[in-house]
Amino acid sequence: MKIHEFQAKDLFRTFGIPVPSGKVAYTPGQAAEVAQGLPGPPWVVKAQIHAGGRGRGGGIRLTNSPQEVEKAADEVLSNPLITPQTSPSGQKVRQVLVEEGLDSEREFYLGIVIDRKLASPVMIFSQAGGMEIEEVSAKHSELVLLETIDITQGFMPYQARNLFYAIEPMPDKEVLKVFSAVTSQLYQLFISKDCSLVEINPIVITKSGKLVALDAKINFDDNALFRQKEIAHLHDPYEMDELEVKASQYNLNYIRLDGNIGAMVNGAGLAMATMDLIKLAGAEPANFLDVGGGASEEMVTNGLKIILSDERVKAILINIFGGIMRCDVLARGVVKTAKEIEIKVPLIVRLEGTGGKTDIKEFGS
């Protein structure tokens, strides 16, 4: 699960990680009001959407008066923001973060992820702050430092020193104390809130010598939300596709894509493989939909309804491999749906495995 920057910074504050003074605003007027209560000018107005690359899409504005803040907020809030990570039509912005503008002298990258191979958290640090870490890693791997964290020990002070003393030229030694505290607290946050990623890009040393997290990105492990009730609360359904929200209410794994061939499959791996087959055949899949390895009649009905409510879909491919679950159960789900709602697009059904020889007919318009 992803959250917004302002939510991530609130979490940083509770963990004692320094962030700029700032507050979220939902209207241009509110934004100007917030700015007047903060140190400044300058103030920064930042669009709050989950997708990255906001700066390049014009979603981050530097302003010098409350009037400019209001104007910037108005522009950001009234147009969908298009970034390299949003859909081509962009993402509607529903709130902005207004912050004091800080003069940064040096910028770094700091993050924590799980290294799958080592089955351990790993802290990532780079002197090339502000750039995409993937890009830095590809072009200047020597600038990316990794500290693998022993899950039984936690992040150790020596590991903070390993990172700090590699910085060239070395910052003032006073910064080390804060750096140690920040790295250690970031790890505490990662572990105690079941994060899958925390990222500060950039974390800066200001001209006045303070270490501050200018940005904040946190992703959480969906599997752990059952024990992170407060975090689950931060979920923003407006950031999700409408059909995806509906599908999640049915416990279906649905992801909307750009093509026009709807696909419904049991099992995630087979669903991906089926999307690939659609593409291989020269068409584009309209969605990923996994109705579950042991899908029920009801899951099939709900899944089909979701696909059918996507107007771009020109044909539907159902690919079911019956395992323990019988194909004929699933076939009944399809027939039931066809009786309930009119299916105007061609439906191609492939049933294989257990119970796959049941008499299945193809439905057409």
Q: String of b and e for 56-70 (b: at least 16 CB within 10 Å)?
A: ebebbbebeebebbb
**268 scored as a contact of other proteins (CB under 8 A):** yes
105 part of the active site: no
Site string for other proteins, 210-249 (x = CB under 8 A): -----------xxxx-xx----------------------
Stretch that binds other proteins, among 31-39, 93-101, 259-267, 339-347 (CB under 8 A): 259-267
Q: Which of 68, 70, 199, 297 is catalytic?
A: 199
Q: Which is nearer to other proteins, 22 or 121 (CB)?
A: 121
Q: Which of 99, 109, 239, 254 is catalytic?
A: 109
DSSP run (H or E) holding 138? helix 133-139
CB count in 10 Å sphere of residue 119: 8
- 146, 122 contact by CB (below 8 A): yes
CA angle 89-43-197, nearest 5°? 60
**114 scored as a contact of other proteins (CB under 8 A):** yes
- 171, 104 contact by CB (below 8 A): no
**338 scored as a contact of other proteins (CB under 8 A):** no
Stretch that binds other proteins, among 56-64, 67-75, 317-325, 327-335 (CB under 8 A): 317-325
DSSP tally for the chain: helices H, then strands E:
11, 15
**119 scored as a contact of other proteins (CB under 8 A):** yes
Stretch that binds other proteins, among 4-12, 74-82, 97-105, 114-122 (CB under 8 A): 114-122
**363 scored as a contact of other proteins (CB under 8 A):** no
**267 scored as a contact of other proteins (CB under 8 A):** yes
Q: What token pair was written down for 162?
A: 């390993």
- 255, 240 contact by CB (below 8 A): no
Closest among 253, 349, 267 to 306, alpha carbons compared: 253
**131 scored as a contact of other proteins (CB under 8 A):** no
CB of 29 to other proteins, least distance (A): 34
**The one-letter amino acid at 74:** D
Residue 359, classed as helix, strand or coil, is coil
Residue 100 CA from chain centroid, whole number: 26
Query: By CB under 8 A, how many residues form the interface with other proteins?
Result: 54
CB of 353 to other proteins, least distance (A): 6
Among residue numbers 194 through 213, which ones bind other proteins (CB under 8 A)?
194, 196-197
Backbone angle region of 353, left / alpha / beta, with phi > 0 → left and psi within -120 to 50 → alpha = left
**181 scored as a contact of other proteins (CB under 8 A):** no
CB of 121 to other proteins, least distance (A): 7
Residues near 231 by beta carbon (within 8 Å), at least 6 away in sequence = 1, 3, 193, 194, 220, 225
CB of 313 to other proteins, least distance (A): 16
| Spatial separation of the C-alpha atoms in residues 268 and 7, rounded to whole Å | 31
CB count in 10 Å sphere of residue 46: 26
Q: What token pair was written down for 20?
A: 């700029």
Q: What token pair was written down for 18?
A: 């320094």
Q: Which is nearer to other proteins, 203 or 275 (CB)?
A: 275
Q: Which of 7, 83, 91, 266 binds other proteins (CB under 8 A)?
A: 266
Q: Which of 269, 298, 348, 364 binds other proteins (CB under 8 A)?
A: 269
Closest among 74, 73, 95 to 26, alpha carbons compared: 95
Among residue numbers 273 through 312, which ones bind other proteins (CB under 8 A)?
273-280, 284-285, 288, 290, 293
109 part of the active site: yes
The DSSP letter of residue 28 is: H
CB of 225 to other proteins, least distance (A): 9
CB of 266 to other proteins, least distance (A): 6
* Active-site annotation, residues: 109, 199
Binding residues for other proteins, rule: CB under 8 A, are 85, 113-114, 116-117, 119-121, 133-134, 138, 151-152, 191, 194, 196-197, 221-224, 226-227, 253, 255, 257, 265-280, 284-285, 288, 290, 293, 321-324, 352-354
